[in-house]
Structures are given as structure tokens and as C-alpha cells.
Amino acid sequence: MAMAESNIANGRRLPAELNSFVGRRHETAEVKRLMSESRLVTLVGVGGVGKSRLALRVACDVRRAFPDGVWLVELAALESPELLAQTVSEALGVQDRSVRSPIDVLTGHLRDKHLLVVLDNCEHLLDDCAVLAATLIRAAPRLSVLATSRQALGVTGELTMPVPPLVVPGLDNDRPSTASLRQSDAVRLFVDRAHAVLPGFELTDANGDSVARICRRLDGIPLAIELAAVSLRAISVDQLLARLDDRFRLLTKGARTAMPRQRTLRALIDWSYGLCTEQERLLWARLSVFSGGVDLEAAEQVCSGDGIEPDEMVDLVSGLVGKSVLAREDHGSSVRYRLLETIRQYGRDRLRESGGEQELKLRHRDWCRDLVGRAEQAWYGPGQLTWFARLRAEHGNIRAALDHCLTTPGETEPGLDIATALRFYWIASGSFREGRSWLDRLLAADHEPSAARARALVVDARLAVLQSDFAMAAAMLDECHNLVARLGEESILAMSAYVVGFSALLQRDLDGALRMLGEAVERSRDEDDQTGVVNALLYLATAHSLLGHTEQAVTHFKECVEMCEARQEHWFRSYTLWVFGIEKWRQGDTAEAVEMERLAIRLKQPFDDRLGIALCIEALAWMAAGDEPERAAVLLGAARENWRSFGGPLFGNLSDYHDACEASTRERLGGRRFDTAFRKGTELGSAAAVAYAMGEDPGRGRQAGETSPLTRRETEIARLVAQGMSNKAIAASLVIAQRTAEGHVEHILNKLGFTSRAQIAAWVGEQDHRDPGSSS
């Protein structure tokens, strides 16, 4: 099954730990205790002390207590507080395309959910996080929040836990044994990290004392220990200790009193910085303009020049990774690099001091504009999915660039270019609201008439139409047309005709749709803009289909499918298949229609296009209504459940098919059977709903790659069964009645066609083997 699906079913995976986790036994227990007393717990402490790492560890430990999952929201890279609720929604996989406020959407989605949200690194958005956490807790009685922050959020009912540094060895013992030193978490962390850079490294009687002193020097701050340990690549433990001693004596001017922890860490980062070459320092500072990581290509484009040649980048990046300044992250076949927050801020300060910050922000903006421009060009083609994934990975950087454009005088136009070029991305990623929000604010920031403005207005109007905000869309299109009349940018008219036509289609004005979409197709053909052609043709065909113009509809649909196939394109093709399938079904060719819908779903899965998938499931319900009314009712329920979050009406005239399907199915089944089947559909969960729609019979001969037929709760329980737990133990661990647990196990056996718990255990093992990590 696609990764996105298992994420939906099981909650977002917590990131895998890249290196060993050390100690914290007492703190872990304490956090769990606090979480049992309050639904809002905040871990506070200085930078680098290990708040985030501890939060993730606890989240992973308690995940089974939250059937709706444990979700990590990383806030360090988020600069605009307006996007907070949106960011949380995204991290939780909530898609919503309506005009409701993001916080309403979020509370609506979470109201009946039993889950844990980890808000990591809240300090720079303290007030906003406080309001958000308080709102969520109030709205959702079974939701818990675990936050990390340098300061408490200050919300009533919040319990805070100061995260102490790692325990360092005591002073009482002159020559501590290695066994007693290993009791210290700080020493263990040091030894682990030393071992990573120097595989033969061991704690011995000879070096034990120095290691203990180093850990004390560093106050047991994990980040400081990690930064220091990497220097063992080049020097000995004693040399490291001597250097740290010199350094700190200088800083405290020989005073025997300890420095505050902030200063210890700062001193350590200064020290690391000092160990870097001139060029590495330059790169460290420059990399701090990125938000949410960077790949090599971006680093080359933005950070080279003025002292760094592009072909030196690989060596410099490796140097920084080696010094633990940059963390390497593997994403499938690509590699990204990330600065830990404290280290990024340090780099930002250096960049600011050097007077280079503005220049770097401009280069970052240029890189971003170039990237999204290339993505737009390549969208309608074989690289579509790769580009989609790439933009997703760069979402943090895109936001940083847009934020810069919005807050820097004279930068509106590049901002409009970036937000406009992302037109397909905003739609495909379900970020209607975010796209509109950037476009609205940029358009309001500067009213200078320009082609960039006219184009931005069309894109903004298109997003508004998708949210059924037709009045706003019409106003923006008016302004756009006035601009075009003044500036003579005729090329924009194809796009605007499309938006006017699409809007008419959704509002059931089929003649208007026909006229304007026809115009859009012609203008796009004149401009030789294939993307514009396929996009408009698809809905022109739909308008014909709805009007009963079968021949024109089929001709156009066929042209669309052929165009997309020739370009190995998936997005437009999946939407074409969806409406083409409906046309086929109207003609009575149900078998082919079903195949089309299923292929459309398959094409949509990698985009996690839940809106599109819901539309196809809905169509499959209509197709089943004739012969399999029960199945139709289940599918209607599944589509409704998937549809629920999007708000807005179904799709102009298509909603008539929905009404007819529901009425006839209800009549044939009778109210009670209909309701039962419908409810079964709503309870399937996304992955099982797709499996059902695809006609996979989960009971027999399951093949690799098929989706699980179990609901989230059942999956949870199957895992506990696989761990050998009795029904009683399962009930206790999930805080449910034993009878309920028994009922669930019964269901699981039935659904999987098994007779024993051992079979369930074997099945869980197989699933994990097929899809490792899906349990978290």
C-alpha cells in the first residue's frame, strides 16, 4: 500500500531516531505522569537540553494509548503565526478546501478524536501556540498536547516540566570506576557519539576521568556534548579537555562559579564555530536562511559565490555534517540537510552581523522563484510526481520566501510570481486556503497594475471558485479583465476564460460553461499552451456530458486521455477518467466505467488527493446502485466520510446523480438496511474505503500490496493480540470494557477469515514485514 495510506490509517509516523537515545528514564516517567494529570504538558528548558528528543521518545512510548494516533508538528521553521493552525492541520493530514477558518476546521476534525499532538519548538510563537493549544483542548475532550518550548505557554491547566540536563558524574570520587561512570547519562551520550566518529573508542580507566570532566564542563547539555564529541576524530580526550578548560577559563575569567547553562551552550557553539574553516563558517551562516532543510542543489544555488565555489559545496557540507552542525536526512533516494534550531539561530546571528542577511534572502527568493517556475513548466508531464514531492519537501522554504516578499518593501512582484507559479501545487496539495491567503495578502500589499498582478488575480479566483466563494472570484476576475484591457496581456485571457467557465459549471450554468470553456480551449490552442488545452478541454467535455451531448463529450474526453497518456501525465488524466467514467456509465457501459474510476483512484493515490478519491468513490456508488444496492450504500457512506471535511456542494449538476442514487438505493434496501450499510461505509477509514472501492475482497487470499481491511481500532487491537496480550490485558491497556475488546477480536477474526489468535499474530507480522514502520 502507498505510504500515504498507512499514514492516514495510523497517524503520522514519528521520525525514525537516527542515533542512540540515552537515559532519561526518570524524566520519561515524569512526563507520562504529568500527561495523566493534564492534557497539556509543556517541556521547558534551554536550547539543546533535549526537550524535543524527550518529547518524541515519550510520544512514541505512549502511542498505543491514542487510537487516533500521535502527530508531530514541527514549528521551528514556521515564521508566520497566521499559518499556525494551517500547519497543524497539514501535519495531521486534515484536508479542507472550504472557506471556514483554519481553526474551525481543525477543531471540527479533532472534536471526537482521541489523539496526541506534539507541538515541537513553540518558543517563537508562544502566544499563538497558547491560544491554539487552549482552543484545541477545550474543543476536543480526548485530545492531549505535548509541547516543547524554551518558556511555558502560560495556559490555564498547563503542567510544565523543566527538562534538566543529563546527569553528570559526581565530584566525590577521584578515580571513578568505568562502571560507575556509565551510570551517568551524559557520559553514555559522550561515549556513544565518540564511538560514532572513532569506532574504536571505549570508556577506559585511562580516559574515564577526563571524560567525566568534559561532561561536567559541558553541564550535561546533550547538544554541547554532541558538538564536543565529534572533535575526537582529530584530537584525544585529554586534548579536548584541555581545550575546553582554556576556553571556559577565559569566559569565566577564572571565576569558580559555574556559568549559566545558556552561556555554556553558547560557548560550545562558539567553539564549534571556531573549529570550522573560514568557508564552513560562511556556509553555516548562509544555510540559516533555509527553513525546514535544504538539499545540495539549493545550497549550491543560494550559498555559493563570494568565497565559496559551487564545486566546493560537497566538501563543505560534509565538513559541517562531520562536525554535527548539519544533520543529514535521507528521504527515499534524496538527501536533505538540516540545522538544529539552536545552531540555525546562531548562524542567523552571524549572517546578520556580517551584513549579508538581506542579500542572502534575495538569493533564497530567487532560488525559490526559479524552482517553482520549473515545477510549473514540468507539471504537465512525466516528472509531475517528482516535482510534487519536491515542492512538498520545500514547503517550509516556499513559505519563508513568500514571507520575505510580503514583509520587504518592493518585493511584491516576485512574491506574486512565486504564489502564481504554484497554482497547480496549491490545488494538488489541498492548500487552497494557504494559496489564497498568500495571494490575497500580496495583492493587497501593492496595487501596481502589472501582468504579474493580473495573473495572480486569475489564480486566486480559481482557488476561490474551488472553495465555492463565487462572489470573490467574480470580483477578482473583473479586476483582472480591466487590467488586461489596459495592459494588453491577452495571454492571460485563456486562463481567465477557464476560471469563468469552470465557475459556471459548478454553479449549474451549463451554457455559460460551454461558451467560456470553449473559448479557453481555443485561446490555449492559439497560444500552443498544452496545459491550458487539456485543463479546459476536460471540463468542456464534462459540460457536454451533463448536457447530454454524448458525441462531443466522448471526442473531447478521448483527446484529453490521449494527450495525458502521451505526456505520461497523471493529475489531469485522473480527473478526466473520473468524469469520462461517469459519461460511460450514463451510456450503460458500467463495467468500463468502473475500471475508469478505479484507475483514476490509483493515479490519485500518490498525491494523497482525498478530494478526488472521494469523487471517484461517489461515482462508483452510482455505478453499483443498479445491481448491488447494498454496496452502493456502503460506498455512499465512504464517500460522504471522505467528503465531509471539504465542505461545499458536490459538483454542480453531478449532485443530481447523488440524490437519485441515494433515493433509489434507500427504496430498494429499506431505511434500516440502507442506514446500516451507509454507516459501515462511514466507519471504514480511508484505506479500507479505497480497498472496498477497488473491489478487493479482504477476507480471502490477501496479496502483498493490498490494503488492510481492519479499522484503525481493530489494527491497534490486532497488534496487541500479536504481542500475546489477553482480552483482559488489552481492555486494561486501552481503557475499554473487556466485552468491547472481545467484540473487536471477534470482528478481526471474521474480517480476516481466521479462527485463532495465532493467525492474527502471523498476519500482523506479515503486514509489518510488508510495510515496516506503519505501527507508529
Q: Which of 6, 42, 52, 207 binds Mg ion (CB under 5 A)?
A: 52
For residue 414, CA distances in Å to 274, 408, 458 come to: 37, 11, 16
Tell me which residue has its CB nearest to ligand ATP: 50
Q: Which of 24, 63, 364, 744 binds ligand ATP (CB under 6 A)?
A: 24
Selection from ligand ATP, Mg ion, none that 222 binds (CB < 5 to 8 A by kind) is ligand ATP
121 binds Mg ion (CB under 5 A): yes
Q: How far apart are CA 683 and CA 542, in angstroms?
A: 31
291 binds ligand ATP (CB under 6 A): no
**How near is the Cβ of 107 to ligand ATP at its closest, in Å?**
27
Q: Are strands 326-331 and 334-339 parallel, antiparallel or unpaired?
A: antiparallel
User: What type of residue is 610?
Assistant: R
**How near is the Cβ of 219 to ligand ATP at its closest, in Å?**
13
Selection from Mg ion, ligand ATP, none that 47 binds (CB < 5 to 8 A by kind) is ligand ATP
In contact, 326 and 227? CB cutoff 8 Å: no
Q: How far apart are CA 545 and CA 583, in angstroms?
A: 6
Identify which of residues 188 and 286 has a Cβ nearer to ligand ATP in the complex.
188
**How near is the Cβ of 542 to Mg ion at its closest, in Å?**
49
**How near is the Cβ of 27 to ligand ATP at its closest, in Å?**
9
User: Which residues fall within 8 angstroms of residue 310, CB to CB, at 6 or more apart?
Assistant: 300, 304
The region of 44-52, 426-434, 545-553, 684-692 touching ligand ATP under the rule CB under 6 A is 44-52
**How near is the Cβ of 349 to Mg ion at its closest, in Å?**
18
Helix (H, G, I), strand (E, B) or coil at 598: helix
For residue 210, CA distances in Å to 178, 217, 232 come to: 12, 10, 13
Question: Binding mask 332-371 vs ligand ATP (x if CB under 6 A, - otherwise)?
Answer: --------xxx-----------------------------
The phi-psi region of residue 701 (left if phi > 0; otherwise alpha if psi is between -120 and 50; otherwise beta) is: left
Identify which of residues 94 and 340 has a Cβ nearer to ligand ATP in the complex.
340
User: Which residues fall within 8 angstroms of residue 23, CB to CB, at 6 or more apart?
Assistant: 166, 167, 185, 188, 189
Least Cα distance to 82 among 391, 428, 415, 399 occurs for 399
Which phi and psi angles does 119 have, rounded to 5°? -100, 105
Which phi and psi angles does 24 have, rounded to 5°? 70, 25
The region of 15-23, 98-106, 536-544, 648-656 touching ligand ATP under the rule CB under 6 A is 15-23
Question: Binding mask 176-215 vs ligand ATP (x if CB under 6 A, - otherwise)?
Answer: -------------x--------------------------
**How near is the Cβ of 455 to Mg ion at its closest, in Å?**
40
**How near is the Cβ of 80 to ligand ATP at its closest, in Å?**
19
The region of 113-121, 218-226, 432-440, 534-542 touching Mg ion under the rule CB under 5 A is 113-121
Q: How far apart are CA 610 and CA 604, in angstroms?
A: 8
226 binds ligand ATP (CB under 6 A): yes
Identify which of residues 23 and 501 has a Cβ nearer to Mg ion in the complex.
23
**How near is the Cβ of 330 to Mg ion at its closest, in Å?**
21
For residue 407, CA distances in Å to 344, 410, 705, 754 come to: 21, 9, 47, 61
Tell me which residue has its CB nearest to Mg ion: 52
121 binds ligand ATP (CB under 6 A): yes
Selection from ligand ATP, Mg ion, none that 53 binds (CB < 5 to 8 A by kind) is ligand ATP
301 binds Mg ion (CB under 5 A): no
Q: Which of 223, 267, 533, 636 binds ligand ATP (CB under 6 A)?
A: 223
Identify which of residues 160 and 412 has a Cβ nearer to ligand ATP in the complex.
160
47 binds ligand ATP (CB under 6 A): yes
Least Cα distance to 396 among 95, 124, 102, 74 occurs for 74
Identify which of residues 48 and 629 has a Cβ nearer to ligand ATP in the complex.
48
Residue environment code for 363-402, b if the CB has 16+ CB neighbours within 10 A, otherwise e = bbbebbbebbeebbeebbeebbeebbebbebbbbbbbbbb
Q: How far apart are CA 535 and CA 54, in angstroms?
A: 48
Q: How far apart are CA 624 and CA 216, in angstroms?
A: 71
C-alpha cell read off for 148:
516543547
**How near is the Cβ of 224 to ligand ATP at its closest, in Å?**
9
Q: Footprint of ligand ATP on residues 381-440 (CB under 6 A)?
A: none
Selection from Mg ion, ligand ATP, none that 430 binds (CB < 5 to 8 A by kind) is none
133 binds ligand ATP (CB under 6 A): no
In contact, 718 and 748? CB cutoff 8 Å: yes
User: Which residues fall within 8 angstroms of residue 550, CB to CB, at 6 or more apart?
Assistant: 544, 583, 586, 587
The region of 47-55, 172-180, 496-504, 518-526 touching ligand ATP under the rule CB under 6 A is 47-55
Q: How far apart are CA 656 and CA 650, in angstroms?
A: 9
Q: Which residues bind ligand ATP (CB under 6 A)?
A: 21-24, 45, 47-53, 121, 148, 150, 189, 222-223, 226, 340-342
Q: Which residues bind Mg ion (CB under 5 A)?
A: 52, 121
